[in-house]
Structure 1
Amino acid sequence: MNRTIRSIISISLLTTGVATAQVKDTLRNPTMDIPVALTTKEDLSLNGQYQSVLSKSKTLNGYKLVNPARLSSFWKSLSDTLRTERKQLSQSKSLLSEHKQTIDTLRAQLAGKDNTLASANAKLDEINFLGISFSKSTYSTIVWSLIIILALALAIVIVRSVKFIQEAKYRSGLYEEISEEYQKYKVKANEKEKKLARELQDERNKLDELKNKG
């Protein structure tokens, strides 16, 4: 596009000086062709029109003799194209601005949803126990620590209970042994007491007989 504009400016600068030479050359050479307007069959793009202007222009002393009407037509096409592109550019900028506003709005909504999601996740991860808030990980650590401590305490109680039971069985056996020996001793003592009582009674009886005889 910039190359085309520079070419048009160069052609415009040459037109003023060349137009007079073209008229004089035409007068000197009546057979010289006068450029005609662009036909509808030609390439209507800017590059096509530019190439058409160049191809249909006469060359004089190394300069192109451009028909002002053809140059005006080309300039009109260029102006229309620039106007259209500027309009499209303005529309694109407006559309881009709208899209940017939409993106900013969506980003704000997304940020709000992220905050809401983070808050919801925090609430889901939070556990209230006895009015105290704990995270699930902290609560799980505390619970498992208590379970391990209680399990250890239970194991200690069971071990000590087993020892106490064994001690109680041992002492119960000793008591039964002593009780049995005591019962045996009691029986022997009772028998001995009865024997002594009989012997005492016999001695009393003998003493009474001696007294009666005397």
Structure 2
Amino acid sequence: MKNLISTFLVSIIFLGQTVSMEAQESGNTGLEGGNIGSQFDYAIRKSNTYEGFKVVKTTWLYKLKGNALDSVKALRDNIVSLETKVQDQQNEMNTLKADLKEANDRLGIATKEKDSFNFLGMLLTKSVYSTMVWTIIFILIVTLGIMVFLFKRSNTITIKTKETLGEKQEEFDAHRKWALEREQTLARELNKLKQKYKGLD
């Protein structure tokens, strides 16, 4: 809308200057030539003055009216022509914008395909693919380190458990041997006591 108004104003100024220049070149300053302003100046200058009023011929007023209407019509025709040109230029610009957008989209797709890998049905860029690969490698290294650590810790615990179990087994064997000897000693003493009581009877 702003562009249309600017174009309209420029057209009016240009048309006014063109008509003024043509009038100056032809030397015609009456009601038949020149711009509307010069025609009104001519009518005012040539009219009679009566008690502070200007007496203008009716034929001149009709002529000025006709000239003004012709000027307005010419301006309207010029505006319509300019609007048509502006609309054509706008349509051409819209077409060029659509073509440019389509070209940019195609370029973007081509660039993306060039800089991408097809991985498991997904289109990944080189940077994403590289990041993903190094992340997987890092996770595998960390997992391997954790498994080695857990294995060593489990192995150490197993060895300590076996050593503790061996010590407990030795203690148990020693205690069982001591308990067996103690039981045998008590059985002998009990036997002696029984025989002693039998002798008393």
Q: TM-score, normalised by structure 2?
A: 0.47
Q: TM-score, normalised by structure 1?
A: 0.45
Which structure's CA Rg is the greater one? 1
